């Protein structure tokens, strides 16, 4: 279903200096400048916040592959078509295999430790942070320490932001479309 975007985007070639600097950074990192970031660039503060939060989490203990799988769970829980498609591409680039890409939205993974992180991420979303002692115990039993648990929560927060941003904006999907699982 094609819809018109509800938020404007910035053309990197004609962007104001602050937005251009950020969009150029995205282009260098990804080789493309996705529509989401072009829309975020209407406020360089928003794009900078998104990029900075993501860069900070990249310095943590969770691998890029795990963070991408958390992004898939978050996209499904928040019904974000844009993010689900984007994180299939980004997840594959991060080394997530096709089976785990397909399973990620259901909070499943071939690695039991990763699956525990995904189930915990889903619980954080569904319970709005008020997870049970049992859910916290389960992620700890899988081998995650408090720092990594904080990173799971941070990944959920960052991806919830992008889910909401794209849902409000109805950002045109510029990644190969992947239907949200039912």
Q: Write the pLDDT tens digit of every residue in 17-71.
A: 999 999 999 999 999 999 999 999 999 999 999 999 999 999 999 999 999 999 9
Task: Outline which parts of the chain fall under CATH 1.20.1290.10.
Answer: 64-169
pLDDT of 5 reads 87
Beta-carbon count within 10 A of 4 CB:
6
Indicate whether this model's pTM tops 0.85. Answer: yes
- Mean predicted confidence (pLDDT) in 167-171: 96
Is the pLDDT at 1 greater than 50, yes or no?
A: no
Beta-carbon count within 10 A of 175 CB:
19
- Mean predicted confidence (pLDDT) in 94-100: 97
Is the pLDDT at 2 greater than 50, yes or no?
A: no
Is the pLDDT at 3 greater than 90, yes or no?
A: no
- What topology does CATH give the domain 64-169? AhpD-like (1.20.1290)
DSSP E strands, the chain: none
- In 3D space, the residue among 100, 114, 93 whose CA is nearest the CA of residue 175 turns out to be 93
């Amino acid at each position: 279903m094609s819809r018109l975007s509800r938020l404007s985007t910035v053309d990197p070639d004609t962007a104001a200096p602050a937005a251009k600097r950020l969009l150029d950074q995205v282009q260098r990192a990804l080789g493309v400048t996705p529509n989401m970031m072009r829309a975020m660039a209407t406020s360089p503060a928003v794009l900078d916040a998104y990029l900075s939060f993501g860069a900070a989490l990249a310095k943590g203990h969770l691998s890029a592959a795990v963070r991408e799988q958390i992004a898939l769970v978050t996209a499904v829980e928040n019904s974000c078509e844009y993010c689900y498609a984007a994180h299939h591409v980004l997840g594959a680039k991060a080394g997530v295999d096709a089976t785990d890409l397909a399973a990620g939205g259901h909070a499943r993974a071939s690695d039991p430790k990763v699956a525990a992180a995904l189930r915990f991420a889903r619980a954080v979303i569904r319970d709005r942070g008020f997870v049970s002692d049992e859910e916290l115990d389960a992620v700890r039993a899988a081998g995650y320490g408090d720092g990594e648990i904080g990173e799971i929560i941070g990944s959920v927060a960052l991806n919830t932001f992008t889910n909401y941003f794209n849902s409000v904006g109805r950002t045109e999907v510029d990644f190969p479309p992947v239907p949200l699982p039912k």
